[in-house]
Structure 1
Amino acid sequence: MNGSKRNASTLQHSILLMAVAATALGQTLVFTLLPSLGRATGMAEMEVGLIISCSSLIFALASPVWGTVSESLGRKSVLVIGLTGYSVGTLLFGLVFHAGLNGWITGAVLVAGLVLSRMLQAAIMAATPAAAAAYTADITTPEQRTQGMGRIGAANNLGTVIGPVSGGVLAAVSLVFPLYAVSVITGLMAITTAMFLPPSPQVRSQRTMNLRQTLKKGLGAYADPRLRDLLMTGVMLFMSFALIQQTLGFLFQDHFHMSPQDSARTLGLTMMAAAITSLSGQIIVVQWLRAPAVLLIAMAVPAIGAGAVLLWVVESQLLMSAAVLLVGLGLGFGMPAIMSLASLRVSHEEQGRVAGLASACPALGFILGPLVGTGLYTLDHRWPYLLVMALMLPLSLLAWRLVRRS
């Protein structure tokens, strides 16, 4: 009997982590390719940033709503919906870019098509991270919560490792081909989840809510005073990452005179190395050493700050890449800590809504990060990294308050 339970638990964790990894793979691949795809279709830097910012806004609004829906519809169903939406949305996004690369649509029509397709995708794929985090809360005890969320973070980083390198390889076929590959991968993952993932052990809410009530309850998580400091910390962590990630591809092209294809490959390898660093940190510090969540946040801030300082001052591609490794390490510490602390502050009945809120932190950071970063980049190539350095001041204060509170 114990063996059967252990096998069921292993299957749960494996499929859940594969779903998270597949989504992260697609996200990182898209972020890596966007600067090159944008340049290849004649888009300005801020237009590329607009795509990410608009879709991130929709994701941030949808994420806690999907978390709320998972409390009555079930985590598994919401996971399948999110993966299916990601697959179909990525296919649509790739088709619009394909039309732009062939000159069938250009200018404002192309930008509008890309923004709208990405926003539609974000509205549905926001279901996946929220349901995955809530499912993890359902199958872990409070004592296991940080390690459980750490596994979600590790799966996310695994996808982040595979995404850039696979994108760089597949881009050799064509710049848009990796998007089609992601559509197929997430589609297969949706089928796998529907067929083999056991239902979550959660006790589903029996209360039926209409759309207005669901939206009110889900979006109400943003006003919850118990989570305000965690939300602000998570948003600034991911905004810092967005400022760096969305400008580095342009910096490689302009500073080192790379072609769009070479830049995509170089940025992909750099982001892959950062993800490996983040994954290693999570395995050693979160899983093996079992560091408490507040310590992880306290370690995240100086790592990201040091990376920003390096990007501000260095001229070498190798040192720039080393700076991104530090940023990746900091993000790897911060992400599971935010998710764990948020989960532990609420009751079991609120896990879905709060998981959605915690999952929205990356999207909230990517609302302003790409747009502000690309705007600053047009003024001076190093100004985005100066802004990251400035963000470390309020982040340090928030981290200090979290440590005191705990």
Structure 2
Amino acid sequence: MLLAAVAVTALGQTLVFTLLPSLGRATGLAEMQVGLIISCSSLVFALASPVWGTLSESLGRKRVLVIGLSGYSLGTLMFSLVFDAGLHGWVSGTALVAGLVISRMLQAAIMAATPAAAAAYTADITTPEQRTRGMGRIGAANNLGTVVGPVSGGILAAVALVFPLYGVAIITGLMAVLMALFLPPSPHVPTERALSLGQTLRKGLSAYADPRLRDLLLTGVMLFMSFALIQQTLGFLFQDHFAMSPEGAARALGLTMMAAAITSLLGQLIVVQWLKAAPTVLIIMAIPAIGAGAVILWLADAQTIMSLAVLLIGLGLGFGMPAIMALASLRVSAEEQGRVAGLASACPALGFILGPLVGTGLYTLDHRWPYLLVMGLTVPLAYLAWRLVKNSG
């Protein structure tokens, strides 16, 4: 049940990211406006994630999971209705952008509960020796949703571009009901003393200042910023470089992201679950994979080659994220797992704050510049990986 909730959340997120370039073009939005939608919602998600992780200490993991899925369902419905209004010409320009940004930010504020509580639940039911494999299963479930999301979105987009978003709202709503009815409670015993809202906010957000976690946080943010730079510009590149329609680009990007998720999933199953690689080894393997993918995207001129490059990047991300979540969990006590799970879950959102805006901004100057920046990011990532290995050894 826990892994299904993670998979459904990933399905919805990936589907939205796959459709956004095409939906943006179809409603007359500029590339930077599409990037703004993702960046604003990612900022809210990043702030809310450690707060929800902290709340899971007192409310319980299961309750927070159900809240997150319910909020995701309602938020997606709101986001879909605004886009539908834009496609029909009922709202446009600044009003459309404002409606999309606000609805997505409201959604992000609640849906941030799900990944944080899922990671904390996993920490509750695994020993330190099992932690990397446990977080790897969370990553595998995330990748499974990422596999299904793009291909289903590409197929359903043939009916109508916004149609897949309504499907996400229904699926996540049903998952919230199933979780409430059938998920066993976590073995974690909720704290009896409930914190005030101000105390909860301070305790949750203080995770960002924890010196034990700074290197991991920075590594995770840079990994996901690299991915965001690519994901949020590739759909535009397919439309501009290969003269695809918005619907065709959505299908092509969906298939590319699905293939990347499959590669990431296989890498996690083989390297994390079967070979039981250490977290630091996973980090070391992640960086050259992402760097090689960026180099190929910079040089390639064929859609097939570009898609193969994204496979490498997906593989690197599949290695990196479980490692960061496991290392963060192992550095703190049992009483801090919720807060730290929220911080680790915020890494993707933090990467997507700057990634889409910077990526789409660079794209307007030159279509390949976002991938040049990803190549540059591998240098500080390599230094951080060296520090992680040194400090663990």
Q: TM-score, normalised by structure 2?
A: 1.00
Cα deviation, residue 229, structure 1:
0.2
Alpha-carbon distance between aligned partners in 1 of 2:352 and 2:242, rounded to the nearest angstrom: 26
Cα deviation, residue 108, structure 1:
0.3
Cα deviation, residue 207, structure 1:
2.3
1:348-367 to 2 correspondences below 5 Å: 348-367=334-353
Structure-1 residue corresponding to 2:318? 332
Cα deviation, residue 180, structure 1:
0.2
Structure-1 residue corresponding to 2:204? 218
> Is residue 2:368 matched to residue 1:382?
yes
Alpha-carbon distance between aligned partners in 1 of 2:288 and 2:70, rounded to the nearest angstrom: 38
Give the counterpart of 1:196 among 182, 188, 194: 182
> Is residue 2:36 matched to residue 1:50?
yes
SS in 1 for 2:28: coil
Alpha-carbon distance between aligned partners in 2 of 1:383 and 1:196, rounded to the nearest angstrom: 48
Q: Once superposed, which parts of structure 1, at least 4 consecutive aligned residues long, lie more than 4 Å away?
A: none
Structure 2 counterpart of 1:144, one-letter code: Q
Alpha-carbon distance between aligned partners in 2 of 1:190 and 1:75, rounded to the nearest angstrom: 13
Structure-1 residue corresponding to 2:52? 66
Give the counterpart of 1:100 among 76, 86, 89: 86
- Map Cα deviations across residues 17-57 of structure 1 (whole Å, 9 max, x no partner): 00000000000000000000000000000000000000000
Alpha-carbon distance between aligned partners in 1 of 2:370 and 2:191, rounded to the nearest angstrom: 45
Alpha-carbon distance between aligned partners in 2 of 1:150 and 1:207, rounded to the nearest angstrom: 33
Structure-2 residue corresponding to 1:266? 252
Structure 1 counterpart of 2:294, one-letter code: A
Identity, in percent, stands at 81
SS in 1 for 2:208: helix
Q: How many residues align?
A: 392
Structure 2 counterpart of 1:216, one-letter code: R
Structure-1 residue corresponding to 2:143? 157
- Structure 2 segments unaligned to the other structure (5+ residues): none
Give the counterpart of 1:322 among 280, 291, 308: 308
Structure-1 residue corresponding to 2:381? 395
Alpha-carbon distance between aligned partners in 2 of 1:142 and 1:203, rounded to the nearest angstrom: 19
Alpha-carbon distance between aligned partners in 1 of 2:97 and 2:278, rounded to the nearest angstrom: 44
Structure 2 counterpart of 1:106, one-letter code: S
> Is residue 2:9 matched to residue 1:26?
no
Structure 1 counterpart of 2:283, one-letter code: I
Give the counterpart of 2:227 among 241, 255, 259: 241
SS in 1 for 2:133: helix
SS in 1 for 2:276: coil
Cα deviation, residue 203, structure 1:
2.0
- Map Cα deviations across residues 100-146 of structure 1 (whole Å, 9 max, x no partner): 00000000000000000000000000000000000000000000000
> Is residue 2:271 matched to residue 1:285?
yes
Cα deviation, residue 205, structure 1:
1.5
Cα deviation, residue 206, structure 1:
2.0
Structure-2 residue corresponding to 1:144? 130
Structure 2 counterpart of 1:346, one-letter code: V
Structure-2 residue corresponding to 1:4? none
Structure-2 residue corresponding to 1:6? none
- Structure 1 segments unaligned to the other structure (5+ residues): 1-14
Alpha-carbon distance between aligned partners in 2 of 1:177 and 1:195, rounded to the nearest angstrom: 28
Quote the RMSD (CA, aligned, Å).
0.4
Cα deviation, residue 204, structure 1:
1.5
